[in-house]
């Protein structure tokens, strides 16, 4: 639908809103201030954490705001964004292209890729530099280039390969060099003969024998990382593992082109190709769009909406997120804008599950979706994990084939979130318990120490008193002794006649002890 | 522009419960027509009666349970239960028997458990078992299948028998009903006759036809055809009928090879009684069958096993209903222990073993 016309470069928008967090991982730190003029390709943030990616100015202009703006996320929540008012100059910052990447160490190459802000362009937006660093324990044998579109309708990878095959191949060569891998397999769906041909031609020019184009059947969700590896190599990535555990790294084909531009031209990731399609779009096509361009603007440039446009989806029809507004920026992970004319599932009666097992047949993770649904809906979270809930990739196949029209994936998301919450609560309560125990121990220790201090003090006092009384008896003269004896007598008399003060009634032993102590002290000071 | 948001996937599902039920009913048509052809008007009367009663009971129960009546009434599941039941009951069963069986199927077999999708037992088989245990005599009123020497009733006569309980003037019950070939074989084998003797018998011999008895072989053949179409359309899972028929064939063949004179030959097993209806239309009821691929093999094989056991040594000529209900009981267990190996997991990881983490 969207492959009829070539990729069109979207015109420069007046304003770019670039969310800081467009990738999986930690946030990056802002380098620019409000009012500052930035050049195209100039870094706006720097990634401090390992799993992180910086963002760059997609065009030259003035930073007008650094604040929270609505982000393209299913929650519709806002996130910190840098807003640039473009000046139309498109003035590039100083770029540092690498003349011969083979002269650089792999760490240096990774660093360039990292500073170029490159993330996986298939949709997940995982920082590419991290993926290219499997570590010495994981020798990489094969690099798989995922050229299977994630979902129906999406054609941005297809168009990229048709038009920029050389960039793709060059990017793959850099990846092979960086990882020290033996071969690269470009997995391309068999419904994209033009793209495959373009790649073959490009390969013929470079004469690189380590890169192979492999046709795979067009069955959703073959574009899923683990599914693709299975189709190509018949190896299964362990449930709790990563592709690097079996010596494989998968990169999206769009990412390879971005790597090519970062190394050979020093260009950071500031634009991407995006499919704008669906029955609700007047001119479906692929657009080369600057990151931060408003979705509304992109759609406008595709002829705008048809009259009956009802739904805007970021991503594909199976796993995409439905957006509540089009005043949202395009981000690095956004591969498709799909505008549908019918509101899905409306007026469709959800019936009880009749256990037909269609979902089991189509599940690419080999799960029992129907049992998962059963236990998730009854909040049976232990059972649901027994049935491997966390191996679900939320591809949506089960919900699509369900004759009872049960929104199955929603149940799995619910169960996953609930389990995460429980886990968090459990950790919190564990933490609280540890803290409580620690406090209790501290209080006990403090009490012991106080008692100990008191005891020592008492001992010292007694010792002192003894010493002093010995000293005083030796030095005292007879006259003073007589006066003392008289005073003592008066005191004794007084004590026997006067009423004892009320606040010293009902004293506890401890208090009495303290009073005695004080009295003794007084006595001692008097005798001095 | 503002939009409504929904959760993915955003494709409209193509299939519906209604489509499934409609296709199953459609696939039953050839076999049903053959049944009507061989057994006469009683089949149609039973079916209509069962359908009306089933829909009425379903509506009543839905109303009492405060459920939306229209979508559930139109899902086709009640009609399907009624049709299966009507095909399983004898053609001259009195009207009240059909009513009791249908009402029991819908109420006890389905709604008391929570309606569509929640019943552990096949509703039609629940209705059938209640009928056969409570009214064994009435459950033998089968009509001779277009066999010479018997009187075949017209519509009015059939109507009178079913609703009036009266045999038409000048006829006796013996003249209008006949034991089924399965029943006959069982009785005669019990009398120490050999299979060959029974087939050569002057009274009983003719009813056995070519393989499964006059009429029965056609009916079973057409249900088999309809069932294969369903399996091709993936409305039903082929594993259940394959497991069922495979086991039945294997067992009957082994025993017949061991002693061909006192054990029924496999061809007869496969084409007599309600075997094809059971294999493709009853055992495959998704709600009450196992859902995992391996579970479905075992489920089907279990039914085949019990059918053979009951037919050979049990007290009833055809044990389909009991076999199905017995295996229905095992489905939760089967589902749990036959879980497929999830992607990226090892076969060794048995469901229970994942719990280990909690104990540690």
- Mark out the alpha helices in chain B (DSSP H runs): 17-39, 41-64, 69-73, 77-88, 95-107, 123-134, 155-164, 173-176, 181-190, 195-200, 216-232, 239-258, 266-271, 275-277, 293-313, 320-337, 356-359
Interchain CB distance below 8 Å, B9 and A319: yes
Question: For B277-299, how does the pLDDT look when each residue is reduced to its tens digit (9 = 90+)?
Answer: 999 999 999 999 999 999 999 99
Sole residue written with tokens 């249908």: B102
Helices (H) and strands (E) in chain A, counts: 15, 16
Q: Which of A298, A300, A357, A392 to mutate to test the interface with B (most CBs of B within 10 A)?
A: A357
Measure the CA–CA gap between B34 and B272, rounded to whole angstroms: 14
Quickly state the pLDDT bin for B360 (edges 50, 70, 90): very low
Distance from CA of A388 to the nearest CA of B (A): 7
B286: nearest CA partner in chain A? A356
What percentage of chain A reaches a pLDDT higher than 90? 55
**Token pair for residue A525?**
């000071």
| pLDDT recorded at residue A1 | 72
Beta-carbon separation of A399 and B355 below 8 A: no
Cα–Cα dist B208/B213, whole Å: 4
Residue A114 and residue A36 in contact, taking contact as beta carbons nearer than 8 Å: no
pLDDT of residue A503: 62
Q: The tokens 């393989």 sit on which residue?
A: B211
Separation CA B108–CA B124 (nearest Å): 10
Residue A406, token pair as written in the block: 């049960």
Count of other CB atoms within 10 angstroms of residue A15: 16
Chain A environment of B293 (Cβ under 8 Å): 360
Within A75-215, residue ranges assigned H as helices are: 106-115, 128-131, 156-163, 165-179, 193-206
**A323/B5 CB distance under 8 A:** yes
Residue A14 token pair: 């007046």
A-chain residues near B291 (CB < 8 A): 355, 357, 360, 368, 370-371
End-to-end CA distance of chain A: 108
**Burial class of residue B236 in the structure, from the number of CB atoms within 10 Å of its CB (0-12 exposed, 13-18 middle, 19+ buried):** buried
For residue range B34-91, what is the model confidence (pLDDT) as tens digits?
999 999 899 999 999 999 999 999 999 999 999 888 888 888 899 999 999 999 999 9
Average pLDDT, chain A: 88
Mind listing the pLDDT tens digit for each residue in A207-260?
888 999 999 998 888 888 889 999 999 889 988 889 999 999 999 999 999 999
| C-alpha–C-alpha distance, residues B138 and B51, integer Å | 20
- Taking the Cβ of residue A318 and every Cβ of chain B, the question of whether any pair is shorter than 8 Å is answered with yes
Q: Check if the beta carbon of residue B75 is closer than 8 Å to that of residue A353.
A: no
What is the percent of chain A where pLDDT is above 70? 95
Query: For the residues B186-215, what does the mean pLDDT come to?
Result: 80
Answer yes or no: are the C-beta atoms of A196 and A153 closer than 8 Å: no
Q: Residue B122's pLDDT is what?
A: 96
Q: Among residues A442, A419, A422, A418, which one has the least CA distance to residue A430?
A: A422
pLDDT at residue A332 greater than cutoff 50:
yes
Identify the bridge partners of residue A290 per DSSP, sorted by sequence position: A271
Sign of the CA dihedral A347, A350, A354, A360?
Answer: positive
Whether chain B has a CB inside 8 Å of the CB on A238: the answer is yes
Give CA torsion, residues A181, A183, A184, A190, to 10 deg. Answer: -160
Main-chain dihedrals φ then ψ at residue A467, nearest 5 degrees = -60, -45
- Judged by a CB distance cut-off of 8 A, whether residue A351 touches chain B is yes
Residue B179 token pair: 């034991």
Domain A97-266 = CATH 3.40.1190.20: no
Please give the residue of chain A at the shortest CA–CA distance from B3: A324
Distance from CA of A64 to the nearest CA of B (A): 24
Query: What number of C-beta contacts closer than 8 Å exist between A and B?
Result: 185
> Measured between alpha carbons, how far is A112 from A56 in angstroms, rounded to an integer?
14
B353 reaches A (C-beta below 8 A): no
Chain A residues close to B16, C-beta within 8 Å: 351, 403-405
| 3-state SS assignment for residue A79 | strand
Beta-bridge partners for A184: A143, A211
User: Is the separation of the CB atoms in A336 and A368 below 8 Å?
Assistant: no
DSSP state of A480: H
SS3 A327: coil
Tell me if chain B has a CB within 8 Å of the CB of A370.
yes
Do B287 and A344 count as a contact with CB atoms less than 8 A apart? no
* Per-residue pLDDT tens digits for A397-412: 999 899 998 989 989 9
In this predicted model, what pLDDT tens digit does every residue of B112-154 receive, in sequence order? 999 999 999 999 999 999 999 999 988 888 888 877 767 778 8
- pLDDT, one tens digit per residue, over B222-279 is 999 999 999 999 999 999 999 999 999 999 999 999 988 888 889 989 998 899 999 9
Nearest partner of A118 among A132, A136, A99, A104, judged by Cα: A132
Determine whether A499 is exposed, middle or buried from the number of CB atoms within 10 Å of its CB (0-12, 13-18, 19+): exposed
| pLDDT of A159 strictly over 80 | yes
**Which residues of chain B from 287 to 316 reach within 8 Å of chain A, CB to CB?**
287, 289, 291-293, 296
- CB contacts under 8 A, B 21-50 vs A, are none
Measure CB to CB from residue A238 to each of B117, B291, B344 and give the nearest one: B344
Cβ within 8 Å, pair B16-A405: yes
Give the span between the Cα atoms of A210 and B299, in whole angstroms.
50
Q: Does the beta carbon of B339 lie under 8 angstroms from any beta carbon of chain A?
A: yes
Q: Is the bond preceding residue A321 a cis peptide, omega within 30 degrees?
A: no
Chain A nearest CA to B87, separation (Å): 23
Contact residues, B window 61-90, toward A, CB-based 8 Å cutoff = 68, 71-72, 75, 77
CA distance B249 to chain A (A): 26
pLDDT value, residue A344: 56
Q: From chain B, pick out residues whose CB is under 8 angstroms from the CB of A296.
A: 1
A230 chain-B contacts, CB cut-off 8 A: 343
Quick count: other Cβ atoms within 10 Å of Cβ A85? 12
> Would you state the pLDDT for residue B68?
87
From A196, A250, A188, select the one nearest A216 (Cα to Cα): A188
Residue A324 has pLDDT above 80, yes or no: yes
Q: Is A296 on the interface with B (CB under 8 A)?
A: yes
Give the whole-angstrom CA distance, residue B149 versus residue B142: 15
Q: How confident is the model at residue B353 (pLDDT cuts 50, 70, 90)?
A: very low
Show the CA angle centred on residue B318, arms to residues B316 and B323, nearest 5°: 95
Report yes or no: B138 and B94 within 8 Å, Cβ to Cβ: yes
Q: Are B98 and B92 in contact (CB under 8 A)?
A: no
Residue in B closest to A152 by C-alpha? B11
Radius of gyration of chain B measured on its C-alpha atoms: 22
Interface probe with A: pick from B2, B7, B10, most Cβ of A within 10 Å? B10
The pLDDT, as a whole number, for residue A528 is: 55
First to last CA, chain B: 54
| CB neighbours of residue B337 within 10 Å | 15
Per DSSP, B111 falls in state G
Contact B115, B63 (CB under 8 A): no
Q: What is the pLDDT of residue B196?
A: 80
Give SS3 for A201: helix
- Pseudo-torsion of CA B155, B161, B166, B171, nearest 10°? 60
DSSP state of B75: T
In DSSP notation, B223-284 reads: HHHHHHHHHHTTSS-THHHHHHHHHHHHHHHHHHHH-TTTS--HHHHHHSTTHHHIIIIITT
Q: Indicate the Cα dihedral angle A347, A350, A351, A353, nearest 10°.
A: 150
Q: Please give the pLDDT value at position B355.
A: 45
Contact assessment for residue A400 and residue A439, using Cβ atoms and an 8 Å cutoff: no
Contacts of A217 (CB under 8 A, 6+ apart): A189, A190, A231
pLDDT tens readout for residues B159-184? 988 998 888 887 888 878 888 888 88
CA distance B119 to B112: 8
Strands A248-252 and A211-216 come out as: unpaired
DSSP reduced 3-state for A107: helix
Q: What angle do CA B243, B223, B234 make, to 5 degrees?
A: 60
What is the pLDDT at residue A75?
74
Shortest alpha-carbon distance between residue A301 and chain B (Å): 15
pLDDT band per the 50, 70, 90 thresholds, residue A150: confident
* CATH 3.40.50.11540 boundaries in chain A: 97-266
Kindly state whether B115 is in contact with chain A, defined as any CB-CB distance less than 8 angstroms.
yes
Q: With contacts defined as CB-CB under 8 Å, which chain B residues touch A367?
A: 340, 342-343
- 3-class DSSP state of A311: strand
Q: Give the single-character DSSP code of A8.
A: E
B345/A388 CB distance under 8 A:
yes
C-alpha dihedral sign at A198, A201, A203, A205 = negative
Put simply, the answer to whether A342 touches B15 (Cβ < 8 Å) is no
Tokens of A139: 């020798």
CB contact burial B246-255 (16+ within 10 A = b; e otherwise): bbbbebbbeb
Chain-chain contact of A382 with B9 (C-beta, under 8 angstroms) = no
């Amino acid at each position: 639908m969207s492959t009829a016309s070539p990729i069109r470069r979207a015109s420069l928008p007046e304003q770019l809103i670039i969310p800081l967090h467009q990738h999986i991982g930690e946030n990056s730190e802002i380098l620019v201030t409000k009012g500052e003029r930035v050049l195209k390709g100039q870094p706006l943030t720097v990634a401090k954490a390992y799993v992180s990616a910086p963002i760059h100015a997609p065009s030259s202009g003035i930073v007008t705001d650094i604040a929270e703006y609505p982000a393209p996320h299913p929650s519709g929540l806002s996130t910190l964004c840098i807003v640039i008012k473009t000046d139309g100059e498109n003035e590039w910052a100083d770029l540092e292209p690498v003349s011969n990447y083979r002269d650089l160490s792999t760490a240096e190459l990774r660093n360039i890729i990292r500073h170029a802000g490159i993330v996986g362009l298939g949709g997940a937006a995982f920082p590419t530099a991290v993926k290219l660093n499997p570590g010495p324990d994981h020798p990489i044998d094969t690099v798989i280039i995922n050229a299977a579109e994630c979902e129906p309708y999406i054609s941005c990878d297809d168009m990229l390969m048709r038009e920029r095959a050389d960039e793709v191949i060059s990017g793959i060569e850099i990846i092979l060099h960086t990882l020290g891998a033996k071969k690269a397999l470009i997995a391309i769906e068999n419904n994209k003969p033009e793209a495959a041909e373009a790649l073959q031609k490009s390969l013929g020019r470079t004469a690189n024998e380590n890169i192979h184009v492999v046709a795979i059947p067009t069955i959703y969700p073959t574009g899923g990382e683990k599914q693709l590896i299975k189709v190509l190599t018949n190896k299964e990535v362990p449930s709790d593992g990563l592709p690097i555990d079996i010596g494989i790294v998968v990169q999206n084909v769009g990412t390879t082109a971005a790597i090519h531009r970062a190394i050979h031209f020093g260009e950071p990731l500031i634009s991407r190709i995006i499919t704008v399609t669906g029955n609700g779009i007047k001119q479906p096509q692929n657009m080369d769009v600057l990151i931060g361009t408003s979705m509304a603007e992109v759609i406008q440039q595709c002829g705008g909406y048809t009259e009956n446009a009802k739904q805007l989806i970021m991503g594909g029809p199976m796993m995409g997120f439905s957006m509540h507004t089009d005043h949202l920026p395009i981000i690095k992970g956004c591969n498709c804008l799909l505008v549908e004319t019918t509101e899905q599932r409306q007026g469709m009666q959800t019936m009880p599950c009749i256990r037909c097992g269609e979902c089991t047949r189509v599940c690419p993770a080999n799960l029992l979706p129907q049992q998962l649904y059963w236990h998730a809906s009854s909040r049976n979270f232990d059972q649901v994990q027994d049935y491997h809930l966390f191996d679900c990739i939320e591809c949506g196949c089960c919900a699509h084939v369900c004759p009872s029209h049960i929104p199955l994936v929603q149940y799995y998301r619910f169960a996953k979130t609930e389990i995460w919450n429980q886990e968090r609560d459990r950790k919190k309560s564990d933490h609280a318990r540890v803290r409580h125990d620690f406090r209790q121990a501290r209080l006990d220790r403090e009490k012991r120490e106080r008692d100990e201090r008191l005891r020592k003090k008492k001992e010292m006092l007694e010792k002192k008193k003894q010493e002093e009384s010995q000293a005083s008896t030796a030095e005292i003269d007879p006259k003073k002794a007589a006066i003392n004896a008289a005073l003592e007598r008066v005191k004794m008399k007084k004590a026997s006649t006067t009423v004892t003060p009320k606040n010293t009634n009902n004293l506890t032993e401890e208090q009495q002890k303290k009073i005695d102590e004080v009295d003794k002290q007084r006595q001692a000071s008097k005798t001095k | 522009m503002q939009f409504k948001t929904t959760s993915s996937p955003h494709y409209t599902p193509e299939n519906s419960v209604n489509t499934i039920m409609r296709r199953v009913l459609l696939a039953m048509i050839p076999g049903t027509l053959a049944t009507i052809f061989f057994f006469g008007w009683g089949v149609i009367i039973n079916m209509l009666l069962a359908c009306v009663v089933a829909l009425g009971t379903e509506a009543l129960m839905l109303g009492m349970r405060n459920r939306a009546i229209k979508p559930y009434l139109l899902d086709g599941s009640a009609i399907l239960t009624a049709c299966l039941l009507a095909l399983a009951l004898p053609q001259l069963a009195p009207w009240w028997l059909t009513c009791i069986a249908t009402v029991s199927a819908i109420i006890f077999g389905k709604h008391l458990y929570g309606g569509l999708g929640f019943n552990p037992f096949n509703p039609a088989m629940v209705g059938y078992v209640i009928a056969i245990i409570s009214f064994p005599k009435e459950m033998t009123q089968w009509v001779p299948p277009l066999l010479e020497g018997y009187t075949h009733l017209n519509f009015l006569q059939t109507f009178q028998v079913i609703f009036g309980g009266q045999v038409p003037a000048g006829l006796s019950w013996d003249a209008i009903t006949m034991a089924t070939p399965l029943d006959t074989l069982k009785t005669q084998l019990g009398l120490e006759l050999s299979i060959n003797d029974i087939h050569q018998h002057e009274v009983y011999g003719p009813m056995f036809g070519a393989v499964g008895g006059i009429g029965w072989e056609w009916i079973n053949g057409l249900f088999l055809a309809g069932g294969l179409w369903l399996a091709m359309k993936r409305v039903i899972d082929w594993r259940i009928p394959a497991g069922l028929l495979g086991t039945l064939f294997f067992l009957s063949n082994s025993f017949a090879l061991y002693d061909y004179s006192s054990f029924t030959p496999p061809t007869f097993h496969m084409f007599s009684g309600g075997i094809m209806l059971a294999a493709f239309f009853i055992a495959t009821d998704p709600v009450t069958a196992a859902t995992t691929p391996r579970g479905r093999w075992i489920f089907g094989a279990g039914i085949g096993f019990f059918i053979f056991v009951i037919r050979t040594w049990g007290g009833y000529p055809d044990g389909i209903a009991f076999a199905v209900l017995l295996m229905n009981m095992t489905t939760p267990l089967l589902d749990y222990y036959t879980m497929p190996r999830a992607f990226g997991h090892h076969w060794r990881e048995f469901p229970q073993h994942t719990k280990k983490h909690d104990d540690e």
